[in-house]
Amino acid sequence: MSLRGRTRIALIFLTFLAAACSAAPSPTPSPAAASGAPATPDLATARSVLQAADLSKPATIAAVDRVRFTAVGEQAARELLAAGASGEALWAATWVYASSGKDPAPLRGLVTSQDATIRVMAAAFLVATGERAGFEPLVNELADEDLLAGSVPPQAVWTFAVSTLVRYAGPNGPVPPVDAPAAELAAAQAAWSGWLSGQGGKLRFDPATGTWSSS
């Protein structure tokens, strides 16, 4: 997978993390940090960090950010997902794994999660890694005006869903909505549903560009 694809979920929460890191207290430097060498967390630490995630406590999310894009972070996230993590630990594991994971298997089952944020993050990962099955869950959320967990400034679930569809389906799909009145969202959802029904079997993924086309 290209770096462009690997950073898809990371970019969504970039502003959230900037706020989290700025609000987090400065820890006492470890010997490794004092010497200029980056501290490398072990698997147990990474697992504990993900399990301790609390969206109301920026310091815990800043800690999650520090294990993203690390081998132990990805492994810890994969293990927690396999073990049936729930709540904010599930949010953290999904986010970390979707930021740098390569195998879509750990997230496939999450497109039916009871949590809309988890559903769309998992679906976005599937679409970004070439799995057509991610499109339908995203289309299903196009009328969801609830807030996406962890987004700062706050954004609705539907905005994440439509931006993901536009990012990967590009000019092949319907024109996205520009605002959020219920009638417009319902119409957009119907348009994307029709597009998926008509073009779904023809969609082809191009790993080089990380996009889909129906040509």
Spans of all domains in the chain: 1-24+43-102, 103-203
Instruction: Kindly give, in sequence order, each residue whose CB lies less than 8 Å from that of residue 52, ignoring residues fewer than 6 positions away.
Output: 60, 63, 89
Given a cut of 80, whether residue 176 has pLDDT beyond it is no
Is the pLDDT at 1 greater than 70, yes or no? Answer: no
Q: Which residues pair with 211 in a beta bridge?
A: 206
Spatial neighbors of 146 by CB under 8 A, at least 6 apart, are: 116, 156, 157
Share of the chain above pLDDT 70, in %: 78
Q: Give the pLDDT band (50/70/90) at residue 148.
A: very high
- As a whole number, mean pLDDT of residues 146-164 equals 90
Specify the residue for token string 């949010």: 91
pLDDT single digits (tens) 41-87: 899 999 999 999 999 999 999 999 999 999 999 999 999 999 999 99
